[in-house]
Structure 1
Amino acid sequence: MPVYALNLFDVADRDEYLAYARRSPAAVAAHGGRVVALGQFRESVTGDIEPRRVLILVEWESKDAFDSYRNDPELADLHPHRENGSANYIWHLFDRLDDLRPLLKLE
């Protein structure tokens, strides 16, 4: 079942994040991921989360595909660029739903 990875963060070190951004699209695709959306923060409408400047939404074929990307030893030198190039990182996984019925079932 597909999962979505919501990435919200601020760029802390441009050069470090660029080093990640140059290699990550191919690595993500090789592990069954697809970038669905890229965004730049516009405004806070409601909610109590501190805004982050960048949004990246990635669709993964499965949780296993996501885990294979995170744990691939050949990418051990890639992930530190993301970590060192960003700040205030939020990385949440969401299961794909075709509609909201599973969330709205009465128990």
Structure 2
Amino acid sequence: MAEIPGSGKVYALNLFDVADREEYLAYSRRSVKEVTAHGGRVVALGKFRESVAGDIAPRRVLILVEWDSPEAFASYRDDPALATLHPHRENGTSAYVWHLFDRLDDLRPLLKD
């Protein structure tokens, strides 16, 4: 049975370039612990290899995070206790893309009439 879009797990696709190594290191030293504490887990890390198709400008880094729910993601993004953490991500990266995708077991919900 397919997941209902908008319920359950979501995936945050993070694509970016590292703009300031020290700033991003300050973010990454703490972010995995905080992501986990808010119901997320990193499921993939990647370094850009090549552009095969599409109109998005390449980014050097890919991080895919699975969140327990959209609310879990929002709790991480909006937690006032993390107000000093997120600026390290913002200042340490450039060309940041942060997109959320609903989890699907298959593509049938997208292919219905």
Provide the TM-score with structure 2 as the length reference. 0.93
The residue type paired with residue 25 of structure 1 is: V
Question: Aligned pair 1:91/2:98, yes or no?
Answer: yes
Q: For 1:44 and 1:35, how far apart are their aligned partners in 2?
A: 23
The CA RMSD over aligned residues, in Å, is 0.3
Q: For 1:73 and 1:42, how far apart are their aligned partners in 2?
A: 36
Given candidates 12, 37, 42, the residue that maps to 2:49 is 42
Aligned residue pairs total 106
Q: For 1:104 and 1:10, how far apart are their aligned partners in 2?
A: 34
**1:91, distance to aligned residue in structure 2 (A):** 0.2
Q: For 2:108 and 2:55, how far apart are their aligned partners in 1?
A: 26
Which runs of no fewer than 5 residues in structure 1 stay unpaired?
none
- Percent of aligned positions with the same letter in both sequences? 78
Which runs of no fewer than 5 residues in structure 2 stay unpaired?
1-7
Provide the TM-score with structure 1 as the length reference. 0.99
**1:76, distance to aligned residue in structure 2 (A):** 0.3
**1:28, distance to aligned residue in structure 2 (A):** 0.1
- Large movers: runs of 4+ above 2 Å: none
Note the 1:1-107 alignment, pairs <5 A.
1-106=8-113
Q: For 1:81 and 1:31, how far apart are their aligned partners in 2?
A: 18
